[in-house]
């Protein structure tokens, strides 16, 4: 994957960066951890979409900010 285009930071300062995996969130028996691909607003939640169809919901009130990273 090329450079990430976004990063989501929660109120407890947890960062979710496009193209990275959340170690400990989704890990299969072979040690594979899917990578964050995209996100979308879903009602009162932000839905994070990972490779291989994994999804994670974060309540909107826990989102501190979403940064869009420069591609240049």
Does 20 map to a domain? Answer: yes
Domain count, the chain: 1
pTM, entire model? 0.81
For residue 22, the domain's CATH number is 2.30.30
Tokens linked to 30: 């072979």
In whole angstroms, give the CA distance from residue 20 to residue 39: 13
Give the domain extent around 60. Answer: 6-68
What's the pLDDT at 60? 97
Whether the predicted pLDDT of 10 surpasses 90: yes
Is residue 46 within 8 Å of residue 57, measured between CB atoms?
A: yes
3-class SS of residue 65: strand
Strands 55-59 and 36-42 come out as unpaired
14 within domain boundaries: yes
- pLDDT of 12 reads 96
Residue pair 45/58 in contact by the 8 Å Cβ criterion: yes
pLDDT in tens, 21-48: 875 566 666 667 889 999 999 999 999 9
- Does residue 1 lie in a domain region? no
Q: Which two structure tokens, joined as six digits, stand for 3?
A: 């450079």
């Amino acid at each position: 994957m090329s450079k990430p285009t976004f990063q989501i930071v929660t109120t407890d300062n947890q960062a979710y960066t496009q193209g990275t995996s959340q170690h400990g969130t989704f890990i299969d028996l072979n040690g594979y951890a899917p990578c964050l691909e995209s996100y979308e607003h879903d009602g009162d939640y932000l839905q994070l979409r990972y490779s291989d169809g994994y999804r994670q919901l974060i309540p909107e009130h826990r989102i501190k900010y979403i940064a869009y990273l420069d591609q240049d």
